[in-house]
Structure 1
Amino acid sequence: MHVLITGAAGFVGRALAQRLQQAPAVGGRAVTRLSLLDLALTAPEPVRADPAPEVQAWPCDLADPAAQQALAARLAAAPVDVVFHLASIPGGLAEQQVALARRVNIDATAVLLEAAQAQVQAGGPVPVFVFASSIAVFGALPAAVDDHTPLQPVLSYGMHKVVGELLVADFTRRGAVCGRSLRLPGVLARPPAPTGQLSAFLSDLPRELAAGRPCVCPTSPQARTWASSLPCVLAQLLHAASTPAAAWPAGRALTPPTLHFSLGEMVDAVAQVHGVPAQALVRWAPDARTEALFGRFPPLRTPAAEAAGFVHDGDLPTLLRRALAPA
């Protein structure tokens, strides 16, 4: 099996690449070739596995016509079986750099889908295409969210993800890919880095408190959010690639189960798991816009994803243990 990961230098992409090197299989099929794509990418360090997949790191910009031609040539020489499309420009940065975000979030998605279509037209396999969508597609949230909640994004990033979902569904209908869009929640805990993500504080808060360092939270303790640990999200992405096509609805998109909790509950759980005076270390400094975007998440019901075998972390202490475990 040949697996391609875009956004392979990012937080989730790097971890997924490492997982597939350590345990090179998807749905019981061996991964023999792993192609890693990102704008800036260095060759990964070898990871012990028997047998180990062949790993190729390919720094490229899929909006560049030369890169598009190179992609077509690569797939002609080694057709891809599974694509994990994780590359994106996140929320805050997408608001600031509109043209760049459109190129990465929309144009690159179309390029990948068209490359898959060309592969099929040349007689190659129909690849499974796992698109990392986002809960940002919901935008303005009702009193509860379920499988029938309308998509009403309030940020360009969320709109881009809606467009991506529609593209994946359309190319699936045309037989170019077997698409699966997974609406991921916040993923904990991201390392400190200037990624442009407005939700970065959700990772900063448990990481800093667990280390015994004071932290300012830009919401009230009553603010409620959805989040999953990185190991949970990796398991969900791999499960998305291996579930039967019939498990996916006509729109080819599912919202996986995730935990729903308040930031105050998160602080209490950090104190419980790590034995630190977290409540004394946090200073609450609510910002109205931040709380509106990330602190008013209602209960979430995900029966379709649960029927397809997706699971969440289980409870908040488990999420924090997984999220803050050494890499």
Structure 2
Amino acid sequence: MSHGTGCAACHLPFQKGRLQAHTFARPADNRCLSCHYGNYVGSDYHGRSEHDYHWEYRTPYAPTGYGPRPYGIEYRDLTPDIHQQRGLVCIACHQDSGHNAKPSVRCASCHDWRPGQPVPPVRTLKADGGLLVLTSRADGRVHPVPPLQHPAHREFGRTVACQVCHAQWGSNDSTTHLLLTHTEDFDPWEELTVQGSSEVESLLSHNLYSDDPERPAAMRDGLTGEVRPGVWLQGFTQRRFEQLLVRRDTDGVIKVFRPILDLRLSLVDADDNPLVDNLTGADNGLRPYTPHTTGPAGLFYRDRFQHLLER
């Protein structure tokens, strides 16, 4: 466990499963990452992209085995979001508590700000000489906030989402295969014991390598905490980050998408009989999202969405 529950999940420090202090504090990014790790929004802000689950891909290798894995499994160090590089922590924009709360500010709140308008509600922002300036919480450096100047913002500002041009990379795990198995034969999963779940990893490692009696094929329900028969195992057809998936959303705006609901569900009983095999959803599983990998748009930004303008 890398975090507590309730208020302690964000406001009390945990390390190696132990509470480090009883003093409540403003959440730092490591508290956010204790939940928002993996190939999702959160870890991408810090430039982290998970490796494949197979043990041959979980580099770098260390002389004593694999290195520490405080956030799921090993990850690639890609380019962090430019805002993270400038010292913005997660709660700079996500100030309200609760996962249903919308961000306090959006891209245009700061970058389309004009003198005379209220300063966006970011604690380290202030107006200075007709510009917004940001003081980094990381090192105290002061950064002028660049205003929108490129003519593309006027041309496409209402029809193309910011990250279509400015995202440097995005998480595309496709297809996600989920298997609920009641069998206790875990030998086929020996090379995939690390799946970002400490509970699954502990069960597989114990039953595959320990001389003690095997544990039953059961795990906790993530919503109720009740232990239920069966173990959820996971794998992917491929894990990629290089190419952004750009589509037109139902509201007409061109956005970045990810195949987060491109799922295949299967169920195997205790006798290894498949009761459900590769059940799919009603569509391709693509859903719009906002990659937190912001950077310069680049010279060929239109190439990402030009094909959608011609339709």
**TM-score scaled by structure 2?**
0.31
Q: Larger helix proportion, structure 1 or 2?
A: 1
**TM-score scaled by structure 1?**
0.30
Q: Larger strand proportion, structure 1 or 2?
A: 2
Considering only CA atoms, is the larger Rg found in Structure 1 or Structure 2? 2
